Chain A
Amino acid sequence: MNEVILRPKGSIDIMVEAEVINPDIFAGKTNGEIEQLIVWQGSKQLPLSEFFDVDGSAGAAADTKIIIEGDVPRVKHIGHGMKAGEIVVDGSAGMHVGSEMIGGNILVKGNAGSWAGMEMKGGTLHITGNTGDHVGCAYRGSWRGMNGGKIIIDGSAKSQLGGGMSGGEIHVGGNVENFAGIRMNSGLIVVKGDAIRGVGAQMGGGTFVVYGKLKQFSPGFEYAGTEKNPKVGETVLTGEFSKFTGDFAISKNPKGILFASKEEV
């Protein structure tokens, strides 16, 4: 595995659009070539070396690991559309980390901004801290969100998690806010903590699991019995759950399933 280390050179004012931080783009490039990759900052185009000290050179994409040593909350689009290889952010990442990602692994050892894993198609995105809004979601205006891959958030996420999701999995260790799984069609979202409201609103398919409290239950769901340790694909849910189907607000025959932990309903 070839390692390329990026060391942030101090604080960034206007956010940097760095979709070039991607093993596919680094692939086969020397240290000097990586330094010269162009990023946008506002209306300016600047070399990557303006913001990072670059150590090492890349091999094939699948054999390249990019390590960002430090917090980069103002660097956007890290690993955008990446197909292979690995990225580790040793700190917090900016918006759009792993957006439209197709394969490979991203690990963020900290928080991530909004839009992490937006419209993701494959690979794994693991965030050990908290995230903002729209994680694994469709972009504004679209109803086609994440359709493959896996997002793991150890902390909490905000609103619109997995909006328009049509495949893949999202696991949240903490809480979510509003409208998680809105307009979801397929796939699985598991939330270990609580949700505020609008869970699964307009969902036509897929499975949403909440272990904690659902503060305001979505009105378009019907009770469909109790299940103990239900299995969703390969994932076994532990405990006793009330099962609901919905959202009848959007369809006469919706296929969405909402499991709410029996203890908390």
Chain B
Amino acid sequence: MPGTMVIRNGFVFDPLNEIDGEIKDIFIKDGKIVEDLKGGDLRDAKVIDAKGRTVMPGGVDSHSHVAGAKVNGGRMMCPEDRYKWVTKKTDLTHSGSGNTVPSVYIQGYDYAKMGYTTVFEAAMPPMEARHTHEEMRNTPILDMGGYLVLGNNWFIMRYLKEGNIEKAAAYTAWMMRTHKAYGIKCVNPAGVENWGWGKNVSSLDEPNIHFGITPREVIHGLAEINEMLGMPMSLHLHANNLGHPGCWETTQDSLEVTHGVKVKCNMDVEWQKTKIDPQRNQSVYLAHAQFNSFGGTSWGDFESGAKGIVDYVNNTDHVVIDNGAVPFGPATVMTGDGPAIHHLYKLTGNKWSNKDIELECGSGILSFNYLKANPVHSVEWAIGLELLLLVNDPWKTILTTDHPNGGPFTKYPQLITWIMSKKARDATFAECHKWAQDRSSLGGCDREMTLYDIAILTRANPARTVGIAHRKGHLGAGADGDVTIYDFDPTKLEVNDYTKIIRGFQNAAYTIKDGEVVAQDGQVKSVPHGRTFFSEAHMDEGIEKEMLKDVKEWFKYYTLGFANYPVPDKYIRNPSPVQVNKPIEAIVGR
């Protein structure tokens, strides 16, 4: 029977259900996890022997740049990232190429081989939503969703400045439905708008050009809108001043802006009874914190500023961060933060591209290489690890490389060894520039994370943070049948044998999605089409009508017609909408 299986006798790590390495059987029926299988179901189920192996929920990546115009720009700009990384087609799989920015097919296969089944695209500009959906639709295996970039949107800035938060919320809700977007992303709020004039904002209280709105007002406004609607994910913030020495202070102040915003998810889903509350409790999810945790005042006295961020996160309960680590080697930096990429271009002279998304946002792309011999890059490596190791509660952190900004997602296994083994960190300290040791506190940190912690950082917490733990990130009954089996015995695992850890996490023994084996020992076994998650958010119909009048009026300034703005249904292969703030009576006529 398809989608029905038993995974026998594995050591199960399921943090949301507080299962820490217990030997357990996992049952899947029709693609969903169930308590038990009986009779004919059990007889017909595929049986996988996981004895002596590690079993976790399917991996969830909550922040990765894998689809859309900017990602594709990175592909086009960098033929040198492709011609030495070529994958031939097989009877089952598509051909492809690319190292730091692989083609969509390779992305799907590589994530699946590592045990990941769900990946969220971190930045979808509204006008590029169609392109983003096209790439998500063509990414095999993975369930996906995209975060809509709203931090410099002209309507949001205008309504917030007018103090009309309800209209801004109505706009946000309509935009989520229109572009089939999952959550709210805010990139360099108020600053990217200034980039249109070759400028940026330098503090949280600097009003931007024309709109006169400050970053603080945008962050607070969007966080309020997010909870007013009850979105699955909290506001996802790429803070101002990113990539500049001393930016940690701005970051800390930005986090504080959302302190006191009352968290409220209002989704029409069935939550399972997991031991730990599957609903998020953060009011802000800080993206790629490493790039926002620079210390010092210049590149000369550059140092880690992780301590300020770590202290803030440890002392409050409203923040989750992903680290955006730098594992060294080639990368392609790409972000909606145009001025930050221009700054990097001025520093490196590397090839650079910039894009303006009219009335909405912008982006920049730059080819990059992180070198162990480079003092700044070495400190960045240390910051990325400090942010995971020094935050006491793993439920506040998520492991990423901000793919492909810090490095490609295929480096996650390497990252895992650094946080599991002090010896692995010491080996890298010996190879990289001494600033890593001298200008960060990583050298003094003895913490070695366990497989349970890794399961939190790579599946349970990303799922909870983005509000998808009603179906992802755990192995309780009712969850999707996404399971990863890694080929190591946790009772015999030697954390200092890091080549073995890397190999184990690189090629999962089995990656199971919806109860079907999709990858086994580094080979893709089946290529189902993934789902697209998006939020069908709703606001008061009257306010929405008023708002739409404004939008239609302004559409004369867009290069496309109003009717062509929405993402048509045909762009989504397996739509998986979540109703958000749904009124009691179903809204008609939508």
Show the binding face of A for B, using Cβ within 8 Å.
138-142, 250
Q: Are A142 and B349 in contact (CB under 8 A)?
A: no
Residues of chain B lying within 8 A (CB to CB) of residue A138: 80
> B487 on the interface (CB 8 Å rule)?
no
In the complex, how many angstroms separate the beta carbon of A164 from the nearest chain B beta carbon? 10
Q: Are A139 and B349 in contact (CB under 8 A)?
A: no
Q: Are A141 and B79 in contact (CB under 8 A)?
A: yes
> B451 on the interface (CB 8 Å rule)?
no
List 16 A-B pairs, Cβ < 8 Å: A138-B80, A139-B79, A139-B80, A139-B83, A140-B79, A140-B80, A141-B77, A141-B78, A141-B79, A141-B80, A141-B81, A141-B351, A141-B367, A142-B79, A142-B80, A250-B349
Show the binding face of B for A, using Cβ within 8 Å.
77-81, 83, 349, 351, 367
Residues of chain A lying within 8 A (CB to CB) of residue B78: 141
Residues of chain B lying within 8 A (CB to CB) of residue A139: 79-80, 83
Residues of chain A lying within 8 A (CB to CB) of residue B351: 141
CA of A139 to CA of B80, assembled, Å: 7
Residues of chain A lying within 8 A (CB to CB) of residue B77: 141
Give the number of A-B contacts (CB < 8 Å): 16
CA of A250 to CA of B367, assembled, Å: 17
Pick the most buried of B79, B80, B81, B349: most chain A CB atoms within 10 A of its CB.
B80
| Further pairs besides A139-B80, A141-B367: 4, Cβ < 8 Å | A139-B83, A140-B79, A140-B80, A141-B81
In the complex, how many angstroms separate the beta carbon of B103 from the nearest chain A beta carbon? 15
CA of A250 to CA of B350, assembled, Å: 11
Nearest A residue to B76, CB-CB: A141
CA of A138 to CA of B84, assembled, Å: 13
Nearest A residue to B82, CB-CB: A141
Pick the most buried of A138, A140, A141, A142: most chain B CB atoms within 10 A of its CB.
A141
CA of A250 to CA of B81, assembled, Å: 24
Nearest B residue to A250, CB-CB: B349
The 4 closest A-B pairs by CB, nearest first: A142-B80, A141-B80, A141-B79, A140-B79
Nearest B residue to A138, CB-CB: B80
CA of A250 to CA of B83, assembled, Å: 27
In the complex, how many angstroms separate the beta carbon of A102 from the nearest chain B beta carbon? 14
Pick the most buried of A138, A139, A250: most chain B CB atoms within 10 A of its CB.
A139
Residues of chain A lying within 8 A (CB to CB) of residue B81: 141
Residues of chain B lying within 8 A (CB to CB) of residue A250: 349
CA of A250 to CA of B348, assembled, Å: 11
CA of A141 to CA of B78, assembled, Å: 5
CA of A140 to CA of B571, assembled, Å: 33
Residues of chain A lying within 8 A (CB to CB) of residue B349: 250
In the complex, how many angstroms separate the beta carbon of A76 from the nearest chain B beta carbon? 13
In the complex, how many angstroms separate the beta carbon of B332 from the nearest chain A beta carbon? 11
Nearest B residue to A43, CB-CB: B89
CA of A38 to CA of B78, assembled, Å: 29
Residues of chain B lying within 8 A (CB to CB) of residue A141: 77-81, 351, 367
CA of A142 to CA of B350, assembled, Å: 10
Nearest B residue to A251, CB-CB: B349
CA of A139 to CA of B84, assembled, Å: 10
Residues of chain B lying within 8 A (CB to CB) of residue A142: 79-80
In the complex, how many angstroms separate the beta carbon of A194 from the nearest chain B beta carbon? 30
Nearest B residue to A100, CB-CB: B84
In the complex, how many angstroms separate the beta carbon of A114 from the nearest chain B beta carbon? 14
In the complex, how many angstroms separate the beta carbon of A189 from the nearest chain B beta carbon? 21
CA of A247 to CA of B297, assembled, Å: 32
Residues of chain A lying within 8 A (CB to CB) of residue B83: 139
Nearest A residue to B78, CB-CB: A141
CA of A250 to CA of B349, assembled, Å: 9
Residues of chain B lying within 8 A (CB to CB) of residue A140: 79-80
In the complex, how many angstroms separate the beta carbon of B83 from the nearest chain A beta carbon? 6
CA of A102 to CA of B79, assembled, Å: 22
CA of A142 to CA of B83, assembled, Å: 11
Nearest A residue to B367, CB-CB: A141
CA of A139 to CA of B97, assembled, Å: 15
In the complex, how many angstroms separate the beta carbon of B144 from the nearest chain A beta carbon? 28
CA of A142 to CA of B351, assembled, Å: 10
CA of A138 to CA of B367, assembled, Å: 15
In the complex, how many angstroms separate the beta carbon of A16 from the nearest chain B beta carbon? 17
Residues of chain A lying within 8 A (CB to CB) of residue B80: 138-142
In the complex, how many angstroms separate the beta carbon of B97 from the nearest chain A beta carbon? 12
In the complex, how many angstroms separate the beta carbon of A140 from the nearest chain B beta carbon? 4
In the complex, how many angstroms separate the beta carbon of A141 from the nearest chain B beta carbon? 4
CA of A7 to CA of B460, assembled, Å: 62
In the complex, how many angstroms separate the beta carbon of B102 from the nearest chain A beta carbon? 15
CA of A250 to CA of B80, assembled, Å: 21
CA of A250 to CA of B77, assembled, Å: 20
In the complex, how many angstroms separate the beta carbon of B350 from the nearest chain A beta carbon? 9
CA of A3 to CA of B291, assembled, Å: 58
Residues of chain A lying within 8 A (CB to CB) of residue B79: 139-142
Nearest A residue to B77, CB-CB: A141
Residues of chain A lying within 8 A (CB to CB) of residue B367: 141
